Structure 1
Amino acid sequence: MFHSDSLFVLAIDVLFFIQVLDNGILVDPHNQNDIAEALYRLVSDKQLWAKCRQNGLDNIHRFSWPEHCKNYLSRVGTLKSRHPQWQKSDDATEVSETDSPGDSLRDIHDISLNLKISLDSEKSGSMSKYGRSSTSDRRNLEDAVQKFSEAVSAGTKDESGEKAGATTGSTKWPSLRRRKHIVVIAVDSVQDADLVQIIKNIFQASSKEKSSGALGFVLSTSRAASEIHPLLTSGGIEITDFDAFICSSGSDLCYPSSNSEDMLSPAELPFMIDLDYHSQIQYRWGGEGLRKTLIRWAAEKNSESGQEAVVEDDECSSTYCISFKVKNTEAVPPVKDLRKTMRIQALRCHVLYSHDGSKLNFIPVLASRSQALRYLYIRWGVELSNMTVVVGESGDTDYEGLLGGVQKTIILKGSFNSAPNQLHAARSYSLEDVVSFDKPGIASVDGYAPDILKSALQQFGALEG
């Protein structure tokens, strides 16, 4: 570190500072004679010495860290705002401009989100329907849905807010904005029957707040939307009981829809995909090229084991999730080794196994279930501190990311939890070394009876005492 009143005999690598500050002599660092001559000039010429010294004192503040940050922020401030300016409406289901989550964006310090939400997409109903189709047609249907939504968005981009709202149904805001608290159900370590019963018991425990609209619900899972629908309907649970669905390990964010008029085909599922969320996670996503590489990898594993150990799951794959069925967990590498293979091949993606190891998802590096919760905060103004995440004793590969943080966490303990597959051996340290289970924001309960769940939710303020 140089002092501001120092005189410099510097090499041409720092030409910028010498030219701007005029506080030294520029020399060739490989020429001894030039260095000696410059030193002699500074020592013998008192006026040159004083001039260089004064220039250094007068200008060095221009290159301090505070000044650098000030210049950087001033340049950023001149750029076009990338945050949404939420439109106003007289509809009671919408929020006023003063309630807009955009007002709080100035205080957000988590730069990893790098959100760039488009207002035009929202005005035109940029959430498309998630359709149910055969295995061979699923990809084509999803591509058609996305193209349809983008076409609608482009067609209404230049229209006024009132006209766009009248023609595209933008007044149908998700109910997340009206919720005071959100319960996120992310239990991965139980059988389907237990998961359905846990959901029912949570609904029963919070029946008063649920009916008043003060409490909302989000289902977070590694399952695709096509798997969630039959699971819930078989248990007698309505899709509209939830406000949002974080699907495919966080690569898709869906909202329930009961409006059949908006469906593109009778075969569609009652979900709307948030395409704005996709725009946040698509960074460096390999897409079809990554898919072909992973298919070759799966073929190599099958050839090594002499059986179909891992096969692509076309029905559960989507634009930002390449899913595989694992038929023999002993023939596939653990997640730690698989991540290493992806890095060696320069393939940028998240690798996640389901809790039992039967499902393997590859998703974008910016996608995760915890990141989806942060997106809900930015998109709909749902405070993370008002979220309560319900998990089991263990979970999918991303289980660690659901614990701690600003949100509250309820851990359901009991024999109904199955042991995680050894494929999750991603760390050589104990989970207790990175997660403080004794902190106030984490509570562990035995079982999932309604009264137990109610007491835990009351502890975190999600339910009235």
Structure 2
Amino acid sequence: MVATQNGGPVDIHRVLDNGILVDPHNQNDIAEALYRLVSDKQLWAKCRQNGLDNIHRFSWPEHCKNYLSRVGTLKSRHPQWQKSDDATEVSETDSPGDSLRDIHDISLNLKISLDSEKSGSMSKYGRSSTSDRRNLEDAVQKFSEAVSAGTKDESGEKAGATTGSTKWPSLRRRKHIVVIAVDSVQDADLVQIIKNIFQASSKEKSSGALGFVLSTSRAASEIHPLLTSGGIEITDFDAFICSSGSDLCYPSSNSEDMLSPAELPFMIDLDYHSQIQYRWGGEGLRKTLIRWAAEKNSESGQEAVVEDDECSSTYCISFKVKNTEAVPPVKDLRKTMRIQALRCHVLYSHDGSKLNFIPVLASRSQALRYLYIRWGVELSNMTVVVGESGDTDYEGLLGGVQKTIILKGSFNSAPNQLHAARSYSLEDVVSFDKPGIASVDGYAPDILKSALQQFGALEG
């Protein structure tokens, strides 16, 4: 072959050694290479022989073998505590290892057939027979069935011995989920709203048919004292979406699972982190944001924004905003982040007192979709309770497949102007009169019960 010295042909030539690489922009080099191959019989024979001997390494069976081998190595990344107790074992003959061996045999057979057909026409080289393709399809199908059924290796059995069913989030057993995401109220009102929702759904709550998720911009270290101050147990909730959607936690009474160093009664979902960590700047982003905060403090002549170490986490860099007039609105701040090529999601809390920087793939609405994918919680069986306004991501909690209950009343505080991220009215993008959205006045237990019954979360 005569190919370009850039890109994929370089790797192919390194393996096959069956041609000449040239500068694609030099016509003389291309012409000289073609003439050399045609005129030099020894070079032609060498390139031809090398190609026939090694072409099987670029065949479809070989590609499938490499691909499935990589898939097999990813099994260990799956969190062991999330394995189901009722997972069925796969027999040795149906294991992915057997499928890989089948594909390996097909690849070897293809190589032998190529070596034996050197005298045939060039159109036959590199093609497997119909039976080979059928065997390859059977091997891939066997591998897919084995993976879907779930395999138990030695590490899995060891983890199963130390992992009980109590570590499994109870979300799978719930028929409906109520997501409490009220941002526009004071802490005392939020605690009372939670209590009233529990009171309105006491029957379904005690039977286990209804589950609860708390979604907030607060960190896990802030949620615990907030709930305990109101006499609410952590175990009353099935999950906690913390730090504006950058953390997903489950209640835990096992000291080995608790978040350190605070020893909070939460078990963090590391698998969720693997879904949102794409292009996250980490420590480098944190240092850049600290310099940005120092510039803002220097411009205002006071500590307008300072880092909040207690509320920051691996995937959330949190700041306290002490002077909301000294920091830019979220729209301008996002523009600044884009100009500096900082890939992150910027969110203000409802009153503008907190500023969170999280991964671009993280959000509270994204966490709800993750619960559906990971635990099978149907979005249509979720009811999200919000206030008249909320954090910067308030718009993402409205509409969608899930149901939404909007609590209206004087207990809602007006949002800070830092949320001026859009020049359009919210009614232009959210249909508040659609069947999936209901607005109620106040948060009395009977009002909440009627709204939840309307969406089928409670029995009528």
Residue 169 (structure 1) shift: 3.8
Residue 90 (structure 1) shift: 5.6
2:290 counterpart of 1:295: yes
Of 330, 333, 344, 1:335 maps to 330
Question: Higher mean Cα deviation, 142-151 or 404-413?
Answer: 142-151
RMSD of aligned C-alpha atoms?
16.6
Task: Confirm or deny: 8 A CA contact 1:309 1:326 kept in the other structure.
Answer: yes
Residue 172 (structure 1) shift: 2.2
Q: What do the CA deviations read for 1:250-274 (whole angstroms, capped 9, x no partner)?
A: 0000000112355587840101110
Residue 113 (structure 1) shift: 38
Residues 84 and 189 of structure 1: CA distance in aligned 2, closer, same or farther (over 3 Å): same
TM-score, structure 2 length as denominator?
0.69
2:185 counterpart of 1:187: no
Q: What do the CA deviations read for 1:303-349 (whole angstroms, capped 9, x no partner)?
A: 00000000000000000000000000000000000000000000000
Residue 47 (structure 1) shift: 35
Residue 224 (structure 1) shift: 0.3
Question: Higher mean Cα deviation, 46-55 or 24-33?
Answer: 46-55
Question: Higher mean Cα deviation, 141-150 or 404-413?
Answer: 141-150
Of 370, 374, 387, 2:365 maps to 370
Matches for 1:77-116 after TM superposition, within 5 Å: none
Larger Rg: 2
Question: Higher mean Cα deviation, 59-68 or 338-347?
Answer: 59-68
Task: Confirm or deny: 8 A CA contact 1:176 1:380 kept in the other structure.
Answer: yes
Q: Which residue of 2 aligns with 1:128?
A: 123
Query: What is the identity percentage for the equivalent residue pairs of Structure 1 and Structure 2?
Result: 99
Moved over 4 A (4+): 19-158, 261-267
Question: Higher mean Cα deviation, 62-71 or 105-114?
Answer: 105-114
Residue 105 (structure 1) shift: 24
Question: Higher mean Cα deviation, 251-260 or 97-106?
Answer: 97-106
CA distance in 2, matches of 1:230, 1:139: 62
Task: Confirm or deny: 8 A CA contact 1:356 1:420 kept in the other structure.
Answer: yes
**Secondary structure of 2:320's aligned partner:** strand
Task: Confirm or deny: 8 A CA contact 2:215 2:241 kept in the other structure.
Answer: yes
Q: Which residue of 2 aligns with 1:221?
A: 216
Residue 220 (structure 1) shift: 0.2
CA distance in 1, matches of 2:121, 2:189: 35
CA distance in 1, matches of 2:218, 2:128: 16
Matches for 1:154-193 after TM superposition, within 5 Å: 159-169=154-164, 172-193=167-188
CA distance in 1, matches of 2:148, 2:297: 44
Question: Higher mean Cα deviation, 142-151 or 156-165?
Answer: 142-151
CA distance in 2, matches of 1:147, 1:37: 50
Q: What do the CA deviations read for 1:243-292 (whole angstroms, capped 9, x no partner)?
A: 00000000000000112355587840101110110111000000000000
Residue 369 (structure 1) shift: 0.2
Residues 105 and 78 of structure 1: CA distance in aligned 2, closer, same or farther (over 3 Å): closer
Q: Which residue of 2 aligns with 1:312?
A: 307
Residue 106 (structure 1) shift: 26
Residues 215 and 325 of structure 1: CA distance in aligned 2, closer, same or farther (over 3 Å): same
Residues 93 and 68 of structure 1: CA distance in aligned 2, closer, same or farther (over 3 Å): closer
Residue 159 (structure 1) shift: 2.2
Residues 300 and 33 of structure 1: CA distance in aligned 2, closer, same or farther (over 3 Å): closer
Task: Confirm or deny: 8 A CA contact 2:62 2:107 kept in the other structure.
Answer: no
Task: Confirm or deny: 8 A CA contact 2:177 2:210 kept in the other structure.
Answer: yes
Q: What do the CA deviations read for 1:141-179 (whole angstroms, capped 9, x no partner)?
A: 999999999999999996253332112446621101100
**Secondary structure of 1:136's aligned partner:** helix
Question: Higher mean Cα deviation, 93-102 or 224-233?
Answer: 93-102
How many correspondences in the alignment?
450
Residue 62 (structure 1) shift: 24
Question: Higher mean Cα deviation, 164-173 or 359-368?
Answer: 164-173
Structure 1: 5+ residue stretches without partners: 1-11
Structure 2: 5+ residue stretches without partners: 1-9
CA distance in 2, matches of 1:445, 1:370: 22
Q: What do the CA deviations read for 1:184-243 (whole angstroms, capped 9, x no partner)?
A: 000000000000000000000000000000000000000000000000000000000000
Q: Which has the higher helix share?
A: 2
Task: Confirm or deny: 8 A CA contact 1:352 1:398 kept in the other structure.
Answer: yes
Task: Confirm or deny: 8 A CA contact 2:94 2:142 kept in the other structure.
Answer: no
Task: Confirm or deny: 8 A CA contact 2:110 2:128 kept in the other structure.
Answer: no
2:202 counterpart of 1:203: no
Greater length-normalized contact order (CA 8 Å, ≥ 6 residues apart):
1
CA distance in 2, matches of 1:392, 1:276: 30
